[in-house]
């Protein structure tokens, strides 16, 4: 009588155990993905800070991608990986500078607020002067001063993408105060008159020996109030005069 042999098959894990193993695998994969994203964000932020400090010291033309990576302690390919190029990194530095000076989100919220236009202008100047005086010796303000005095090849793109939307929001506030409508050639000049003292402080800087250096020792709120009174007086006087032919 022939004996029959039956091949042993491995026991199949219970469905519950298989489902738990699958969930564990997915959770671990998600954790690793989050860690990679977090590490990437940390590297990206570190490159912006390091590059900003170097651009402030040496200027756009004399700061190389190699120098940035060496100081940041990252691989030479990191700049291209995160920003596409050195120019892409510099553009991100400029965006960070403008965000720290006054953010687009702040201006949009201010524009939507129910404050009278004069109070919107006051709030804007308080926000701006708070950053200008607090950060006057830091790299963002020095980068911005360099860019104002010697614009880089990225200046036009930066203005179009970052500065122009903010200028338009501030223009709307000035238009409310003065009654000068958008499209009127006088409006940009009126807006410039409002922000010119702040721009002067950015260019002068805290560390340079200039006639405006004592202003950096003033309280930001007090100085903002002075600029607000000056701006309102100038706006009202400008629109009270007949247009220059």
107 and 79 in a single domain? The answer is no
Are the beta carbons of 171 and 187 closer than 8 angstroms? yes
For residue 12, is it within any domain? no
Which pTM does this prediction carry? 0.76
Using the 3D structure, point to which of 26, 58, 93 is the last residue of a domain: 93
74 and 114 in a single domain? The answer is no
104 and 152 in a single domain? The answer is yes
Half-sphere exposure of 69 (CA within 13 A, CB side): 15
For residue 85, is it within any domain? yes
Q: How far apart are CA 79 and CA 74, in angstroms?
A: 9
Q: How far apart are CA 132 and CA 87, in angstroms?
A: 25
194 and 104 in a single domain? The answer is yes
Structure-block tokens of residue 192: 């410039």
Using the 3D structure, point to which of 93, 113, 128 is the last residue of a domain: 93
160 and 231 in a single domain? The answer is yes
Structure-block tokens of residue 92: 């991100």
40 and 115 in a single domain? The answer is no
For residue 22, is it within any domain? no
227 and 184 in a single domain? The answer is yes
Q: What CATH number is attached to the domain comprising 107?
A: 1.10.357
For residue 112, is it within any domain? yes
The pLDDT tens digits for 92-131 are 999 999 988 889 999 999 999 999 999 999 999 999 999 8
56 and 141 in a single domain? The answer is no
Structure-block tokens of residue 198: 């702040």
The boundaries of the domain holding residue 123 are 96-240
Write 159-167 long-range contacts (CB < 8 A, 24+): 162/94, 162/95, 162/98, 162/104, 163/98, 165/104, 166/98, 166/102, 166/104, 166/107, 167/191
3-state secondary structure of 111: helix
Are the beta carbons of 68 and 79 closer than 8 angstroms? yes
Q: What CATH number is attached to the domain comprising 52?
A: 1.10.10.60
Are the beta carbons of 134 and 223 closer than 8 angstroms? no
Count: domains in the chain: 2
192 and 123 in a single domain? The answer is yes
131 and 224 in a single domain? The answer is yes
164 and 139 in a single domain? The answer is yes
For residue 7, is it within any domain? no
81 and 118 in a single domain? The answer is no
Structure-block tokens of residue 230: 């000056």
Minimal CA–CA distance to 153: which of 238, 94, 229, 107? 94
Per-residue pLDDT of the chain (245 residues; tens, 9 = 90+): 555 555 555 565 566 666 666 666 655 554 544 444 565 789 999 999 999 999 999 999 999 999 999 999 998 899 999 999 999 999 999 999 998 888 999 999 999 999 999 999 999 999 999 988 876 568 988 898 889 889 999 999 999 999 999 999 999 999 999 999 999 999 999 999 999 999 888 888 787 888 988 998 899 999 999 999 999 999 999 988 876 66
166-183 burial by CB neighbour count: b if 16+ within 10 A, else e? bbebbbbbbbebbebeee
């Amino acid at each position: 009588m022939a004996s029959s042999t039956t091949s042993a098959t491995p026991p199949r894990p219970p469905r519950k155990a298989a489902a738990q193993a699958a969930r564990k695998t997915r959770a671990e994969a998600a954790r690793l993905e989050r860690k990679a994203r977090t590490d990437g964000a940390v590297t990206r932020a570190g490159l912006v800070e390091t590059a900003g400090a170097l651009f402030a010291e040496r200027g756009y033309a004399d700061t190389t991608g190699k120098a940035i990576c060496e100081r940041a302690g990252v691989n030479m390919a990191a700049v291209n990986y995160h920003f596409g190029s050195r120019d892409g990194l510099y553009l991100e530095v400029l965006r960070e500078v403008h965000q720290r000076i006054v953010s687009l989100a702040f201006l949009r919220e201010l524009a939507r607020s129910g404050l009278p236009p004069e109070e919107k202008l006051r709030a804007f100047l308080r926000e701006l002067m708070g950053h200008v005086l607090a950060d006057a010796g830091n790299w963002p303000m020095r980068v911005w001063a360099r860019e104002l005095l010697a614009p880089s090849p990225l200046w036009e793109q930066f203005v179009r993408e970052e500065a122009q939307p903010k200028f338009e929001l501030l223009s709307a506030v000035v238009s409310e105060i003065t009654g000068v409508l958008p499209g009127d050639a006088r409006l940009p000049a009126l807006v410039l008159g409002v922000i010119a003292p702040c721009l002067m402080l950015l260019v002068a800087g805290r560390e340079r020996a200039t006639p405006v250096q004592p202003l950096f020792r003033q309280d930001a709120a007090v100085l903002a109030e002075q600029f607000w009174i000056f701006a309102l007086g100038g706006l009202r006087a400008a629109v009270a005069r007949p247009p220059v032919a």
